[in-house]
């Protein structure tokens, strides 16, 4: 059983979660503080460690500025091989490394919303499904050579890694997902590899994490009595509750209404949606009228991104990291957890934060006397231009090509103010 999970940056505790019976966390770290300090003193960057300290098996790793520490029962297995990596992947998916690098420890409450995701991860790990120890053959160098040649590259990759997820197998072998599925399935059918399923992710290992020793190696020809396992490759990332990803109906929007409501600040909304920045929305839909208003607003926001689906959380009273959705309707009490995101308070008809844009403000001004359908036509034309320029600009920057001619050409052909928008969209959407 996993009893404790700690994530620390320097001397600041970002995550502290206790799963020990009778411990609700109110007593603080207690004696576990000395274990964290001991781990910090011995941890080397990028090196996983696993040792028994007192009543805990302590697994820890220093990853750049972050120290991950997991305390579990002394007989727990798979923490270093599976749970630690899953924890890091989940943490960085919610809080990217550039965000962590800039975090100075002034407001650790921003990490509070991660606890629910951590609980889900721990539950998935505790309820993992493993191949029974001793039920499969040992995969070693000799047995790999006895496999058909088309399978050997995949088998060697897993043998070298000892344990690998489906995605890691693809990365290590550079085969297509379809080839990886077929190869792993055939290796499983030959009696090799142990599988461990944690949630929706499957790991393949040379041996079981259990105590029982596996059976001796044997030639892979006699396969009729070997337990067959079906490969599972679907990995469903944890998503915020209530997240909906789809294209809204731009014809049901009402751009003239937004212009009337927000006047000069509407370019901030345009800038955020087009520039792939999160928009926070506050609206209390206690009445049918407000529900209609909410849908109209969301349909209108789609007009600022007609070419793509938007990730929308219809409502939440839990913290959701801005990287996880494009539009989040939040409870008013959550505003204290967000500092830089554009916030639209429909109840009070005001916009906070966000960036003004000269180019986008000019477009808003053009739409002032237009009907909604005319606004949509204008927006589709201008946004297509922005996206095309942003894609070209991103290619130039990624290839380190000369930029002066391109910028001069854009400045001569278009409103020079488009350059700022083009650069933001290129950076946020096309530079990965």
What does the pLDDT look like over 25-57, one tens digit per residue? 666 788 889 999 999 999 988 889 889 988 899
Give the pLDDT band (50/70/90) at residue 323. confident
What does the pLDDT look like over 275-291, one tens digit per residue? 999 999 998 866 666 78
Give the CB-side neighbour count of residue 377, counting CA atoms within 13 A: 5
pLDDT of 214 > 70? The answer is no
Strands (DSSP E) found in 98-142: 129-130
Cα(79)–Cα(76) distance, integer angstroms? 7
Please give the structure tokens belonging to residue 373: 């359908």
Say how many C-beta atoms besides its own lie within 10 A of residue 263's C-beta. 12
Cross-strand bridge partners of residue 51: 58
259, containing H or E segment: helix 255-262
Top-ranked range on mean pLDDT: pick from 102-116, 207-221, 223-237: 102-116
What does the pLDDT look like over 77-131, one tens digit per residue? 889 888 998 999 899 988 888 889 888 877 788 888 888 889 988 988 888 877 7
Q: Are 195 and 184 in contact (CB under 8 A)?
A: no
pLDDT of 219 > 70? The answer is no
DSSP 3-state assignment of 351?
strand
Phi-psi region of 166 (alpha: psi -120 to 50; beta: other; left: phi over 0): alpha
Q: Using the structure block, give the residue that is written with the tokens 């208003």.
A: 293
Please give the structure tokens belonging to residue 192: 């090799």
pLDDT at position 354: 92
């Amino acid at each position: 059983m996993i009893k404790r999970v700690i994530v620390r940056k320097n001397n600041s505790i970002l995550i502290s979660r206790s799963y020990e019976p009778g411990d609700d966390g109110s007593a603080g770290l207690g004696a576990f503080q000395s274990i964290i300090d001991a781990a910090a003193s011995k941890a080397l960057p990028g090196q996983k460690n696993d040792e028994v300290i007192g009543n805990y098996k302590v697994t820890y790793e220093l990853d750049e500025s972050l120290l991950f520490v997991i305390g579990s029962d002394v007989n727990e297995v798979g923490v270093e091989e599976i749970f630690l990596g899953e924890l890091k992947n989940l943490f960085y998916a919610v809080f990217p490394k550039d965000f962590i690098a800039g975090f100075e420890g002034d407001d650790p409450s921003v990490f509070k919303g991660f606890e629910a995701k951590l609980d889900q991860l721990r539950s998935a790990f505790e309820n993992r499904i493993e191949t029974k120890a001793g039920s499969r053959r040992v995969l070693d160098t000799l047995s790999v050579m006895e496999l058909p040649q088309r399978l050997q590259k995949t088998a060697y990759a897993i043998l070298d890694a000892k344990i690998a997820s489906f995605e890691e197998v693809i990365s290590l072998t550079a085969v297509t997902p379809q080839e990886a599925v077929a190869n792993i399935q055939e290796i499983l059918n030959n009696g090799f590899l142990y599988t461990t399923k944690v949630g929706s992710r499957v790991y393949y290992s040379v041996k079981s994490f259990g105590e029982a020793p596996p059976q001796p190696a044997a030639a892979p020809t006699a396969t009729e009595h070997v337990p067959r396992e079906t490969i599972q490759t679907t990995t469903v990332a944890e998503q915020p509750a209530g997240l909906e990803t789809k294209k809204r109906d731009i014809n049901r929007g009402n751009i003239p209404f937004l212009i009337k409501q927000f006047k000069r600040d509407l370019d901030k909304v345009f800038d955020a949606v087009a520039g792939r920045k999160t928009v926070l929305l506050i609206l209390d839909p206690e009445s049918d009228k407000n529900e209609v208003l909410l849908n109209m607003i969301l349909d209108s926001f789609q007009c600022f991104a007609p070419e793509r689906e938007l990730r929308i959380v219809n409502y939440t009273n839990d913290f959701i990291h801005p990287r996880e959705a494009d539009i989040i309707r939040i409870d008013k009490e959550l505003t204290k957890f967000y500092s830089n995101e554009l916030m639209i308070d429909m109840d009070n008809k005001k916009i906070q934060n966000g960036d003004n844009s000269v180019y986008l403000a000019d477009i808003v001004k053009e739409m002032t006397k237009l009907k909604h359908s005319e606004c949509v036509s204008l927006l589709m034309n201008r946004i297509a231009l922005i996206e095309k320029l942003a894609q070209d600009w991103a290619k130039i920057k990624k290839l380190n090509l000369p930029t002066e001619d391109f910028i001069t050409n854009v400045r001569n052909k278009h409103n020079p103010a488009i350059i700022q928008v083009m650069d933001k969209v290129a950076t946020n959407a096309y530079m990965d």
